[in-house]
Amino acid sequence: MNIKSPMAYTVSVNNVKIELTPEELENLDLIENGSNAFHLISENQSYSIHVEHADFLEKKLTLLVNANKYEIGIADSMDQMVKEMGMLNVVAEKVNEIYAPMPGLIIDILIEEGQEVEKGTPLVVLSAMKMENVILSEGEGIVKFVKVKKDAAVDKGQIIIEME
């Protein structure tokens, strides 16, 4: 493997890759300047930074630096190792059935029979314990049959949608 430092970060800025060590990050002259706003001084230059969007799960940021937009991706040493091992090349999983994750009441059906769905597609809204839960597809497929109706009560583990 080609990882330079066990603690190195690969930061992608608009698809240009930069290697940073924790020491380099720690030595940044960066000051928080309000909600989602920062001020950075680097090489005698002043930068005003605003975090426009942050997706911490995907480790991606959209920053406005002196009013210029930058798409940032961050990969730590584990992310780099997983990528080099080819473990990110995951084939989409085909789903046959969607089950109710908890007992509740179906308050909305967001898909139709015959509709093609991908992983993460919202399928139904389930009200349980005074909360509305959007049930997402766990894989890809075509909706074969919706086995519940709006305002129907469901039990945990009950099949609510059949896929093909």
Report the distance separating Cα 57 and Cα 47, nearest Å: 26
- Amino acid in position 9: Y
**Predicted local distance difference test score (pLDDT) of residue 91:** 54
Q: For residue 92, what pLDDT is reported?
A: 57
Q: Is 163 exposed, middle or buried (0-12, 13-18, 19+ CB in 10 A)?
A: buried
| Residue from 63, 61, 74, 72 nearest 22 by CA | 74
pLDDT of 6 = 54
Residues 145, 113 contacting (CB under 8 angstroms): yes
pLDDT (0 to 100) of residue 59: 86
CA atoms within 13 A on the CB side of 83: 10
Question: What was the pLDDT predicted at 86?
Answer: 65
Domains of the chain: 9-84 (no CATH), 97-163 (2.40.50.100)
Q: For residue 149, which phi and psi values (nearest 5 degrees)? A: -115, 160
* pLDDT of the chain, 164 residues: tens digit per residue: 444 445 688 888 888 888 888 888 888 898 998 888 999 998 889 999 999 998 877 888 999 999 999 999 888 877 777 777 765 555 556 778 889 988 999 999 999 999 999 888 899 999 987 788 888 888 888 999 999 999 999 999 999 999 98
* Strands 60-65 and 45-55, bridge-based pairing: antiparallel
- What pTM, to 2 d.p., does this model score? 0.47
Q: What is the pLDDT of residue 105?
A: 94
